[in-house]
Amino acid sequence: MERDVVPFIVNGQPVRTGRSFPVINPATEERIAEVANADRASVEAALAAARDAFPGWAATPIAERRAIMDRCCAVLEREKERLVDLLVAETGKPYDTAAYGLSCLVGSLRFFSEEAQRVSQEVIPDPTGRFLHYVLRQPLGVVVGLLAWNYPLLNLGYKLGPVLASGCTAVIKPSRHTPLATLAAVELLAEAGVPAGVVNVITCDDHRVSNALLESRIPSLITMIGSTEAGVEVMATAATSIKRFSLELGGNAPAIVYPDADLTDAAIRIVNLKFSNAGQVCVAPNRCFVHAKVYEEFLSLAAERAGAITLGSGKGPMPMMGPLMTAEARDAALELVRESLDAGAKLVCGGRKPEQPARGYFMEPTILRDVRPEMRVARQEIFGPILAVIPFDDEQDLLAMANDTEHGLAAFVFTSDLSTALRAAEGLQAGSVCINEPHFGIHLPHAGQKQSGVGMDRSCHSLEEYLTVKRVSIRK
């Protein structure tokens, strides 16, 4: 029945269109909800609502916007269990992984609430003394935010934080696979005092309809998290007018283990990050370069850590790994393993669909050894639970091998030598380089090099994407 369909949100109102699409729990393969499927008129209404709400929200004093954002955090934390349960249901994640996503949403709102009061309006000296020059930073306008399905609430936080703090308004489109937690979270914003039209959410399973968000001349900024291929399509579709872009795109992160590294620590940290969220992490290490002197020992330690991971969803003992998002994604990952073995790689562990759980899009944590850099498993973003381990020796140009990819999102280095660490940090072509421990935070810049994106998520630098810079000169 129509009343059982989850509506999307335009101008603060729930909207149903008479059409819907299903949301499937990837851990059970069961249909858990029907969500309203937007039509082009709904998309245009959402853009108009954001445009009309912009002048009032942009003029709202920073102190008032901050107070509203703080209330948003309180409301979201009050509804933690409901939001996390929705996230578990639509993604199949372990409970702790889903709860991390909500904490990132709240943390992003808190961080950008603080950053809003630190936006600089610097004075520029005049060489002649005749003028007073200063820089005025103002809200950019309407933002279209396209969210990925791997971390829906974390992605929402990356967009909502700077949108609300800057005084912009937004139309958010979550993935068709994972709209439920996003809709529930945005619905709560009205209770916290966010005016109608400031944040709108469109749900749609047809890009021919949702492309109206990109083709419109209303948005000033298009921001998304997704694959490089999707990013190229978004930029091409949106080229109907001059817009800004902030795109976090695909990754093919190298992890480098030098012979002087703490091998136990390196194996644990690499395996933990690789198999978190079933490998569906943009910064997950895809290619693990390990020095030949410690290659066998590292493989043994990594296999031991991977063997401790259980498969499941929701609450349970950690480390637990959930399913891939779709059957197609799981089957593609299994085929990539078969192709790699045919090409000469060897299986250390995993590589199969498990007997238990019997249902769901699960795959065993998989480690491949003797991978060569030219194999497809080392050339593309895997986005699945496969770690490709590649040996290297002192005579090889290691950084050249690590950089031999079109992507440049993240890189990881494990060594006890400071000079080695500094050379690697300088030489690796990646937006983030972590030495001896993967570490990411809302206060740290997150951006890609090469084909891994443009613009910035997180940190004070991200807020600049949502502001205009206006120079004012006053003759004395």
Active site residues: 248, 282
Sign for the CA dihedral angle at 73, 78, 82, 85 comes to positive
Q: What single string gives the DSSP state of each residue in 109-155?
A: HHHHHHHGGG----EE--TTSSEEEEEEEEE--EEEEEPPSSSHHHH
Q: Give the position of tokens 């107070």.
A: 67
Cβ neighbors of 126 (< 8 A, separation 6 or more) are: 132, 133
Cβ neighbors of 81 (< 8 A, separation 6 or more) are: none
Residue 366 and residue 373: Cα distance in Å, rounded?
A: 18
The secondary element (H helix, E strand) that includes residue 97 is helix 95-115
Residue 382: burial class (beta carbons within 10 Å; 0-12, 13-18, 19+): buried
Sign for the CA dihedral angle at 403, 406, 408, 412 comes to negative
Closest CA to 464 of 59, 120, 144: 120
Q: Are 256 and 398 spatial neighbours (Cβ–Cβ below 8 Å)? A: yes
449: region left, alpha or beta (phi > 0 left; psi from -120 to 50 alpha): beta
DSSP state of 6: B
Closest CA to 351 of 376, 317, 384: 384
Report whether the peptide linkage leading into residue 14 is cis, meaning its omega lies within 30 degrees of zero: no
Cβ neighbors of 260 (< 8 A, separation 6 or more) are: 415, 416, 417, 420
Q: Are 12 and 196 spatial neighbours (Cβ–Cβ below 8 Å)? A: yes
Residue 455 and residue 151: Cα distance in Å, rounded?
A: 19
DSSP state of 294: G
Give CA separation, 147 vs 55, 155, 245, 334, 401, in Å.
25, 6, 14, 26, 32
